[in-house]
Amino acid sequence: MPNPLRPLLLAAAKSAQFKKIVVALPMTRKVVNRFVSGETMDDCVKALKDLSVRGIYSTVDYLGENTKSVSDAEAAKTACLALVARLKDEGLTQWTEVSIKLTSLGLDLPDGSDIAYDNARQICDAVAEAGTTLTVDMEDHTSTDKTLAVVDRLRETYPWVGTVLQAALHRTVSDAERYAGPGSRIRLCKGAYLEPPEVAFQGRAEVDAAYRRALKVLMNGEGRPMVASHDPRMIQAATETALRAGRSADSFEFQMLYGIRADEQQRLADAGYKMTVYVPYGTDWWGYFIRRLAERPANLLFFLRALFGN
């Protein structure tokens, strides 16, 4: 069922005052630890190794978004480069790729597209040298065109760069058709941002139908669909659509978030599908955490129970 508090929670994600209050609560960290692998790279590496032992792949995200200065964007790039080096040193590149947000690399700054591209290009260089891949995350609809433009530039040199499409947006089926070609890697999710009705479907049934339409386009294309959903109905739709499209189990993959439906993640991996878990880490976890609460009533209930000791 839809979370009736979702609009309020997503608005709270942008409130510095609300953040200050909630972060100070002792039980908040207990709940954050369910969705975030930790604040340090050591914490993250431990989580990645634990997943790999279970036959589960990872895409790791150094948390951060909407940087306000060139120096902050440079710091985010440096942190990503350190992460890639650590993955290589730990022998994890067979199991782990990297996810980045372009607004953390300067996309919203003046001349942000060039700044974000240059920072992302340097990360791609390191990723290629390490022997893994990279996916560019998608953010709210105001950055979609800018994000895809940078992705297009990156793919001229690094054709394995993936990106994300959000089924809730009206434009996504058209974008899926554009990115369904050979070599393309598309993570299809429903969308975690609060978007206006002018650009996005609002009801669950509408979003589900849009997800199925985009999924059909990607499965019938020549790229690699990355089915990012915890919804059992969408998981079933993916396997059925893949079968009708004549796809083998290794020609697409499932993706889920760290800390959500671990049993289902294991079931899919054991069934022979590539199962990739999105593993975030870092100190800038606030926006990511609130969006996880807003997505599912069960997540919010878990948080409230922790706060009140039940």
pLDDT at position 136: 98
Query: Of residues 200 and 303, which shows the higher confidence score?
Result: 200
pLDDT at residue 2 tops 70: no
pLDDT at position 301: 66
* Number of other residues whose CB lies within 10 A of the CB of residue 266: 15
Closest CA to 218 of 278, 177, 257, 189: 177
Q: Which of 61, 108, 137, 208 is catalytic?
A: 137
Confidence of residue 153 (pLDDT cuts 50, 70, 90): very high
Closest CA to 139 of 120, 172, 164: 164
8 to 18, 108, 142, 204: CA distances (angstroms):
11, 24, 20, 18
pLDDT at position 23: 66
Confidence of residue 9 (pLDDT cuts 50, 70, 90): low
pLDDT at position 12: 63
Angular region, 227: left φ>0, alpha ψ -120 to 50, beta rest: beta
Q: Which two tokens stand for residue 249?
A: 């189990």
Q: Which two tokens stand for residue 53?
A: 């032992």
pLDDT digits (tens, 9 = 90+) for 73-85: 999 999 999 999 9
pLDDT at position 31: 72
pLDDT at position 298: 64
Lowest-confidence region among 67-71, 92-96, 193-197: 193-197
Report which secondary-structure segment, H or E, holds 11. Answer: helix 6-12
Q: How far apart are the first and last CA of the chain?
A: 23
- Contacts for 31 with CB less than 8 Å, ≥ 6 apart: 289, 302, 303, 306, 307
- Contacts for 113 with CB less than 8 Å, ≥ 6 apart: 107, 146, 149, 150
Closest CA to 231 of 258, 208, 213: 208
Q: Which of 187, 261, 292, 296 is catalytic?
A: 187
For residues 23 and 5, what is the distance between their CA atoms, to the nearest angstrom? 19
Confidence of residue 195 (pLDDT cuts 50, 70, 90): confident
| 36-54: average pLDDT | 95
pLDDT at residue 309 tops 60: no
Q: Which single residue is written with the structure tokens 């999710």?
A: 189
For the chain, list the domains and their CATH numbers: 1-36+285-310 (no CATH), 55-280 (3.20.20.220)
Query: Of residues 293 and 271, which shows the higher confidence score?
Result: 271
Angular region, 185: left φ>0, alpha ψ -120 to 50, beta rest: beta
Cα dihedral across residues 67, 71, 72, 74: positive or negative: positive
The alpha helices in 131-171, defined as continuous H runs, are 144-157
| 147-155: average pLDDT | 98
pLDDT digits (tens, 9 = 90+) for 12-37: 666 667 666 666 666 677 777 788 89
DSSP state of 203: S
Using alpha carbons only, give the angle 30, 105, 182 rounded to the nearest 5 degrees. Answer: 100
pLDDT at position 302: 59
Lowest-confidence region among 26-30, 39-43, 282-286: 26-30
Lowest-confidence region among 147-156, 249-258, 279-288: 279-288
pLDDT at position 37: 92
Q: Annotated catalytic, 187? A: yes
pLDDT at position 310: 44
Confidence of residue 286 (pLDDT cuts 50, 70, 90): confident
| 131-157: average pLDDT | 96
Say how far residue 114 (Cα) sits from the centre of its chain.
23
DSSP state of 29: H
Report the chain's mean pLDDT, rounded to a whole number: 90
Q: Which two tokens stand for residue 82?
A: 């350190």
| 121-134: average pLDDT | 98
pLDDT at position 247: 96
Q: Annotated catalytic, 137? A: yes
